[in-house]
Amino acid sequence: MDILKILVFVIFGVFLYGIESLGDDGLLVFDYYKETCPFVEDIIRRQVEIAVLKDPRMAASLLRLHFHDCFVMGCDASILLDSNDEMRGGPGWQVLLGRKDSLKASFDGANKYIPSPNSSLETLIANFHEQGLDVYDLVALSGSHTIGKARCLSFRQRAYQTSPEEEYDRYERYNTYRRVLRSICPETGQDQRVAPLDFRTPARFDNHYFLNILEGKALLGSDNVLITQDHEGEITRQVWSYASDQTLFFASFVKSIVKMGNINVLTANLGEVRTNCRFTNH
């Protein structure tokens, strides 16, 4: 059993203990477990800290889990995976509690609503807009790619296909980076090999993602298009702002992730606490 499964198991056990006798009025509140399980946040925060210390990639996994839940089935009980404390150097934020898991699982929804690593800018904007998020949210939340790793399968197209915007590469900035990616990811096979999303500070949450984009060193094609396909310049200006001001990026990220956390919230009888995270209870 890997560390993420262990962490989810611990958190799930706390959920069941806390919800068993809970009178649920359907509201999200900061102290949702105050009466039934007053130490739940301390328990989960501690387990998150231990998990991230053992494997820095866990921080990225938790953010990705939260993102996928919000886009596909509504932000469910896994929202507690967002620690109130800073995670790997990043910002902290308070989380309203009381969410439930969806009453249905949606594999088709996952394929439809989760942007692929090779999405065009137009597709990304449309995906986020469908969830009530705007372009500013898209750019701010994309900054989470400053931490974590991606599989070869996700960045192979980025490594071997040259976009029209990169054809003229006088200073070799694109080709040099592409050679690094090719050394990690061959044209065929080795799909599970990984590369850091941010080669500068791969285990730290900071604003280097935006510096990477400006230098043509975004790992995923869906990151690169924020600059190469921004013909109006609005996104490029936002990227420059975050690249030059980490405090501004952190504030924007917190605002957008809280906004994302309130997508299609399920409470009371609209949801359930699953006995198996992969399946509904019935």
Residue ranges of the annotated binding site for substrate are 115
Query: If pLDDT is split at 50, 70 and 90, which confidence band does 251 have?
Result: very high
Range of the domain at 104: 32-78+96-114
**Chain position carrying tokens 């967002």:** 82
Look at residue 270 and tell me whether its pLDDT is greater than 60.
yes
Least confident of 119-133, 152-166, 230-244: 152-166
Rounded Cα gap, residues 59 and 82, in angstroms: 9
Q: What is the pLDDT of residues 11-59, one digit of tens each?
A: 444 444 444 434 456 677 777 778 888 887 788 778 777 777 777 666 6
In this structure, are 255 and 158 located in the same domain? Answer: yes
* Active-site residue identified among 66, 68, 129, 282: 68
Q: How sure is the predictor about 206, in pLDDT bands with cuts at 50, 70 and 90?
A: very high
Same-domain pairing of 243 and 136: yes
> What does the CA dihedral 102, 107, 109, 110 come to, rounded to 10 degrees?
100
121 and 220 share a domain?
Answer: yes
Asked whether 231 and 64 are in contact (CB, 8 A), the reply is no
Residue 135 and residue 103 share a domain = no
The annotated binding site is made up of 69, 72, 74, 76, 78, 115, 145-146, 198, 201, 206
Beta bridge partners of 29: 97
Say whether both 100 and 142 belong to one domain.
Answer: no
φ, ψ at 116 (rounded to 5°): -80, 160
Determine which helix (DSSP H) or strand (DSSP E) holds 196, and give its type and residue range: strand 194-196
Instruction: Tell me: do 109 and 127 sit in the same domain.
Output: no
Residues 109 and 174 in one domain: no
Q: How many distinct structural domains can be found in the chain?
A: 2
Does 165 share its domain with 218? yes
DSSP state of 116: P
Do 139 and 209 lie in one domain? The reply is yes
**68 is an active site residue:** yes
155 and 250, same domain (yes or no) = yes
The pLDDT value recorded for residue 106 is 62
The string of pLDDT tens digits covering residues 63-97 is 666 666 665 755 544 444 444 345 577 888 777 77
Report CA-CA distances (Å) from 1 to 4, 5, 7, 8, 47. 8, 6, 10, 11, 16
Give the pLDDT score at 250.
Answer: 95
Amino acid, res. 58: M
Q: Which residues are annotated as a binding site for heme b?
A: 145
Q: For residues 5 and 129, which has the higher predicted lDDT (pLDDT)?
A: 129
Whether 87 maps to a domain, the answer reads no
Q: Which residue has the higher pLDDT, 238 or 277?
A: 238
Q: What is the CATH number of the domain that holds 234?
A: 1.10.420.10
